[in-house]
Amino acid sequence: MSNNLLAGKVGIISGALNDQSIAWKVALKAHAEGARFVLTNAPLAMRMGEINKLSEECNAPIIPADATSTEELEALFAGAQEQLGGKLDFVLHSIGMSANIRKKKHYGELDYKFFNQTIDVSAMSLHKMLAVAERQDAFNEWGSVVALSYIAAQRAFLDYTDMTQAKAMLESIARSYGQRLGKLKKVRVNTVSQSPTKTTAGTGITGFDAFYNFADMMSPLGNAPAEACADYCISLFSDLTRYVTMQNLMHDGGFSTTGISAEIVDVMTRAAGE
Ligand SMILES: NC(=O)c1ccc[n+]([C@@H]2O[C@H](COP(=O)([O-])OP(=O)(O)OC[C@H]3O[C@@H](n4cnc5c(N)ncnc54)[C@H](O)[C@@H]3O)[C@@H](O)[C@H]2O)c1
């Protein structure tokens, strides 16, 4: 069902790798809500070619860019404005990668070259994007930027290793750049802290199934699916949320404010043989 919430709006959507990606669902919904946009991803990720299907379905051009490269981001933002015929109304940052997680390194043995790369790809890239947008004066007034985060920014989740620090930094950049762009251009910047979700990035984490099931049992509404996350992003791109900025918005079915649930009590009781 479409409500034309994004009619007339144009933007950039990063991070659609395959049809499991949160960004993929955001793109489909943004298209259904009347937006026009450019899709982007790292050139390496595009070799798999899946993004071409999404591009056809949404009638959205693709501009490859490694989000750690200021030059490539400059070409992305300039190219997007050219292809879309004007300044931007929204940007989705849906980018995360940790070689430490990929290589299953535990928190005590993190490789610092990888750690730097995790920060660069997963957090500093938001600053780079917004700095490029600022220099190019690429936003329309009342534009909206959303980046995806995870509750490990606030709580310790050891298996999330260096992504924990990356998400804390991402949320902090959203606050600082939100303050700056709010003043400069009335543009809002928020992070959405999403439930564990079965995507390529998500399932790469050691013990993912266990903490997916744990979060599901803890959350009164259950884990939020990727489609629902996409709906939330659309609401944040729409004019219905024009004064929401510099926030980390929990989209987690109630997980973050639950102490313990009946389901967890049940599991623990059975484990204790009571
Ligand atoms: N899956 C989860 O459980 C979960 C939970 C909370 C937040 N998130 C966040 O959601 C976002 C999207 O992840 P997803 O779960 O849809 O997984 P995904 O693997 O589908 O998406 C991650 C994307 O990051 C892109 N990327 C990696 N390095 C890049 C680079 N250098 N330049 C540009 N793009 C690059 C990948 O190509 C991929 O498209 C990430 O920020 C992730 O941390 C995921």
Q: Is the pLDDT of residue 205 over 90?
A: no
The rounded Cα 205 to chain-centroid distance in angstroms is 17
Residue 171 in contact with ligand 1 by CB distance below 6 A: no
- The Cα 267–Cα 274 span in angstroms is 11
- Give the residue whose CA is nearest to atom 44 of ligand 1: 202
Query: In the chain, helix, strand, coil percent, each to 5?
Result: 50, 15, 35
**Residue 54 burial (10 A CB sphere; 0-12, 13-18, 19+):** buried
Rounded distance, CA 168 to CA 173, Å? 9
pLDDT of residue 168: 98
Q: Is 40 in the pocket of ligand 1 (CB under 6 A)?
A: no
The answer to whether the CB of 178 is under 6 A from ligand 1 is no
Among 241, 36, 21, 274, which Cα is nearest to 143's?
241
Q: 195: which 2 tokens?
A: 């439930």
pLDDT given for residue 206 in this prediction: 83
Supply the mean pLDDT for the chain: 97
Residue of 34, 135, 27, 32 whose CA lies nearest to 77:
135
Question: From the CB of 248, is ligand 1 less than 6 Å away?
Answer: no
Distance CA 183, CA 196 (A): 34
Q: 138: buried, middle or exposed (CB in 10 Å: 19+, 13-18, 0-12)?
A: buried
Torsion of CA 150, 104, 25, 225, to 10 degrees: -60
Pocket test for ligand 1, best of 14, 22, 219 (most atoms within 8 A of CB): 22
With a CB cutoff of 8 Å and minimum separation 6, the contacts of 210 are none
239 band by pLDDT with thresholds 50, 70 and 90? very high
Confidence band of 144 (pLDDT split at 50, 70, 90): very high
46 CA from centroid of ligand 1 (Å): 14
96 Cα to the center of ligand 1, angstroms = 4
Nearest-CA residue for ligand 1 atom 11 is: 94
What would the mean pLDDT of 234-257 be, rounded to a whole number?
98
Alpha-carbon distance of 150 to 140, in angstroms, equals 28
Counting from 1 in the atom list of ligand 1, the atom nearest the Cα of 198 is 1
Neighbours of 260 (CB within 10 A): 10
Question: Average pLDDT in the 40-47 region?
Answer: 92
Protein residue with its CA nearest to atom 43 in ligand 1: 96
For atom 39 of ligand 1, which residue has the closest CA?
15
Give percent above pLDDT 90 in the chain.
Answer: 92
Question: Is the pLDDT at 1 greater than 80, yes or no?
Answer: no
Position 41 pLDDT exceeds 90 = yes
- Gap from CA of 263 to ligand 1 centroid (Å): 30
Report residue 60's pLDDT band, with 50, 70 and 90 as the boundaries: very high
- Stated as kind and residue range, the H or E segment containing 82 is helix 70-84
Q: Quick one: what percent of the chain has pLDDT higher than 70?
A: 100
| Measured torsion, CA atoms of residues 198, 13, 157, 195, in degrees rounded to the nearest 10 | -50
- Ligand 1 neighbour 205 (Cβ under 6 A): no
User: Which sign does the torsion angle of CA 98, 101, 102, 105 carry?
Assistant: positive
User: So what's the pLDDT on residue 211?
Assistant: 87
- 105-113 contact pairs (CB < 8 A, 24+): 105/161, 106/158, 106/161, 107/158, 107/161, 110/161, 110/162
Lowest mean pLDDT among 56-65, 147-156, 203-212: 203-212
94/44: higher pLDDT? 94
